[in-house]
Structure formats: C-alpha cells, structure tokens
Structure 1
C-alpha cells in the first residue's frame, strides 16, 4: 500500500512516528513528501487532502480537538445553536502558531492519552462541554455521550471530575434519551413532580415520553425529515395509541426550543384534565 493510501485509511492525518513504527521506510516517506503525495503539518504530522480541517488545525496548534468540536467529531447529538468554530485543548505552556482562530482550552488532560492522538478523551470532552455550554445544552451532549459511547451512569459518577458542573451533569445524565430534543423536554418537565418514563414500548413501538400512565409525548427531532412511509407509520401508531385510551401529543424541535411556553400550556391543560392518569 502506498503512503498516501495508508494515511487516508488512518483518517487523513497521522504522526510521522506512527508511519515509521508501522514499517514505512524514512526514505520512502521523504520521497512521498517531495512528490506531494502527502504534506507535512507542523513538522511531525503527515496528511492527505482527505484530512478533516479541524484535525489539521489541532495538529498545527500541537493540541487536540476538544469540547464541542470533539463531541461533533464523534457524532454525538449537538444543539443547533452550538458554535461551529474549532475548540482545541493545549497545554498551559503551549505556544500557538500565528493566526490561530480556534477557541483554546488551556488545560492539562483529565485522562492521560497516547502522545500521537489528535482528539481528547471522552471524559475530557465532557468536562470541557460542561464548562462551555449552558446546563441544558451540556446535558444534551452528555446524554448523547452515554448513548454513543455506552457509558453507564454509575461509571460517570465515579470519574474524578474537577468541577461542580461536571459532577452535577454526571449525576443527572442517564443515557435513556433517544435524541437531544428528548433530553431537553425531559429535563424541563422533571421538576414538575409527575412521573416521566422514556422509550416505553406501547402498541408495538417505543414512545418517546410517557407522562404518568396515559399521556404520551412524541418528539419530532432537531430536524424532522421522515419519509412518507415513516410518517404513515407514526400516524398509524398514534391512531392505535388513542384507540387504546392514551392521549398523544406531538411536538417539533421548534416547539420545544423556541416556543416552550406554548408547550407548557398544552401539557398543563392535559394534566389538569387528568389525561395522564390511569382509568
């Protein structure tokens, strides 16, 4: 396999020492750089055109992709309002190259990592998110981490977090949400004192939120892009739920995020009517 293909298969950017450790001759690496098959980044990193721009920025800063940037890179749910500029973690004594525009987390890692890794650890990402985002948005990301990284809530609470915000989030996140929007809805409704259950199987399909025994809330994601077949299935399931005596409410991302007072009024009306109570 040629060097450019090898680098591309490893994500588009690797440390030179990794290539040498994998048996790539130094002479061959120098020849690939001379031909332009690969390019050098900040002296010791080697990249191809497929390298993600944020990882290139991390390599140039001798840092690691951090916080919301690391979370997005891992595919965690992200609130739409989250800033898109790069977040990097660098040592407190690091010297940044001229022109660096990323948001910099000057910190030592919570968890030791191999020297040739451009993305910070999952616990470090969570702690930086806790510091950067409002609590609700941070909880969305933490819930997503639980789901994507298969983190057990009890294991989260045993991590030696450095901040009170991180400890609070570790005690709150449980990994049961199926989407970030579901997290927002549940965390806002939790203080009301009504029983809330998530992802409950009723009539052959999971419902997003069951309030009490009979009030079902379905949430149509950050951006609802169902196919006609999906929509038909949802309508049929809602119809079956109502036939079984459930009250079904369906809210969109816009409802929950930008028109929460209207959502509250609807829920209050149904609670006042006892639609959440068993017959």
Structure 2
C-alpha cells in the first residue's frame, strides 16, 4: 500500500487538487485518502474532489464549482498574451446546475477536444475555442498566435480541427509571423484600411516588424521595450533604413492598444503621400 507521503507528493505533482478516480488509478486507497484528511493535510472541496491545504486556491474553487479552467484564465496560466480581464473563466457542461457566479465568467458547452472528467484545466485547443467566442477578434487572434509562438499548439493541428463559429475565421487568420500580440493587433488595424502587411521582413540584415508596400517600415515597441544600449541599437537601425530610402514609423503599445484611430490615421496619411512606394526617378 502506498504511503501518505507518496499520496501528498503525487498530488503536488498534479496541482494539489485531484479527483478520487485519478487517485485510485494511481494506486491510492480510500484508507490512505481518509488518513490525509484526518491529518489536516488535505480536505474535500466537493464530492470526490480532494485538495491539499496549501494547493492553488483557483483550482480549489474550480473543483468546488465542478468546472474547468478555460479561456483567458487558462491562457494566462499558460503564459500566453491575454487582454486585461476580470474574474475567472471556467467551462461547465450544458447540463450543469446553478452556480455561485460572483467573480466567475461561465462558458457553457464543450470544446472540440474531449477531456477526461477528472481534469481541472482545458487543453489548449479548447482554450482557444472558448477565447474565440469570448473576446474581440483582434484580442482572440493575439491569444491564438501567442499559443502558436510558444509551441502549445502547432499550425497543422489548428488547420485540422473542426472549429465552429468565430474560431473558424481565427483558424484561417492565425499565423506564426507575429512576434508579439502587439504586431497582431497592428495587422488587424491595417485590415480595416484594406492594407496588406508583410511581417518580419529582413532589411539591412535585421527583421522589421511590418513592411507596407516597398518602402514603409513600421516598428512596434511593446510594454517592456528595450532601454539603454538596445534602444540606441534600434534608433541606429531606424536611421540606416531612412538613409536607404525607407520611411520608418514607430508606435508603442499605448498607441496600438488605446489610440488605434491615431495609428490608422498616421498610416493612411503616409499612404496618401506614397511613402510605401519606391520614389520615381
């Protein structure tokens, strides 16, 4: 019979919250589970759901709801780019009963990928499906591309999934070229103008964030943009591009996220001035 120490170690490796089905499949007995509760090291959060006293409060609450972590909450836990949001996002089956929904965003229904009943977190494919139906297309696309860049889902997998609703369009739009969620947002803004953007094009030995036409370069500065020597390197690169005949426009994350109309107007003006074209000789 496995010891109490082994049970506690197994639970810690699995997030500190587990269903009794999973525990018994791992070789732990009802007696061993009861002993961990009597010792005060674990407690029931819901029928058949056991949690260690020091386990993640989020997982405890999700287990108590009979739900799974999904959408933006799961995306953030996985280290993906996510827009600002409140509350925790959980998925529940269509047949679920009433819930204490204070601070909780409920996602009814199931994703494309079946999930074992004892799992507390949705797989990446289901997370992306819930994101597609929860936030704007621009924000959802940023999350999707973040998952691709981090290797949590392969483009080939995305192409093969039988998506529904908004996720179908996202599957067609998502690419591996955006170096950050900020770049994705910029591309979406340009689509509103009907402008084609090429991303990560190599010019003068370095990739630029975006190239419009043949001569309009756009560089995007994220929240944690380079400072000091790195910043000077970027400025030197901008200067070299200008001397090579390119127009270089640089926007920061505040402009892209909070003043998109300003960005659109600037690009539109540059296009009206033919800054994207090779000057005629």
Where on the TM-score scale, by shorter chain, does this alignment land: which range?
0.7 to 0.9
Identify the residue that residue 51 of structure 2 maps to in structure 1: 47
Q: TM-score, normalised by structure 1?
A: 0.86
- Per-residue CA shift, 1:88-132, capped at 9, x if unaligned? 111122234557642222213432112221112333222222221
Paired residue secondary structure (2:58): helix
| Distance across 1 between alignment mates of 2:208 and 2:54 | 40
1:250-269 counterparts in 2 under 5 A? 250-269=250-269
- How far off is 1:78 after superposition? 0.9
- How far off is 1:167 after superposition? 1.6
- Per-residue CA shift, 1:169-221, capped at 9, x if unaligned? 22222232111111111011124344411122233332211111221111112
Q: 1:252 to 1:36 in 2, by over 3 A?
A: same
Identify the residue that residue 154 of structure 2 maps to in structure 1: 151
From 114, 117, 132, give the equivalent of 1:115: 117
Paired residue secondary structure (1:137): helix
The Cα RMSD (Å) is 2.4
From 15, 21, 25, give the equivalent of 1:21: 25
| Distance across 1 between alignment mates of 2:29 and 2:206 | 56
Identify the residue that residue 141 of structure 1 maps to in structure 2: 143
Answer whether contact 1:136 1:184 (CA < 8 A) is retained.
Answer: yes
Answer whether contact 2:256 2:263 (CA < 8 A) is retained.
Answer: yes
Answer whether contact 1:8 1:50 (CA < 8 A) is retained.
Answer: no
Paired residue secondary structure (2:278): coil
| Distance across 2 between alignment mates of 1:248 and 1:232 | 15
Q: 1:26 to 1:227 in 2, by over 3 A?
A: farther
Paired residue secondary structure (1:257): helix
Identify the residue that residue 249 of structure 2 maps to in structure 1: 249
Q: What are the ranges of 5 or more consecutive residues in structure 2 without an aligned counterpart?
A: none
Identify the residue that residue 220 of structure 2 maps to in structure 1: 219
| Distance across 1 between alignment mates of 2:129 and 2:250 | 33
Answer whether contact 1:41 1:56 (CA < 8 A) is retained.
Answer: yes
Paired residue secondary structure (1:77): coil
Identify the residue that residue 202 of structure 1 maps to in structure 2: 203
- Select between 22-31 and 181-190 the one with higher mean Cα deviation: 22-31
| Distance across 2 between alignment mates of 1:215 and 1:50 | 54
Paired residue secondary structure (2:133): helix
Q: 1:242 to 1:36 in 2, by over 3 A?
A: farther
Q: 1:135 to 1:40 in 2, by over 3 A?
A: same
1:57 equivalent to 2:58? Answer no
Q: TM-score, normalised by structure 2?
A: 0.85
Paired residue secondary structure (1:132): coil
- How far off is 1:227 after superposition? 4.1
Paired residue secondary structure (1:145): helix
Identify the residue that residue 239 of structure 2 maps to in structure 1: 239
Matched positions, count: 274
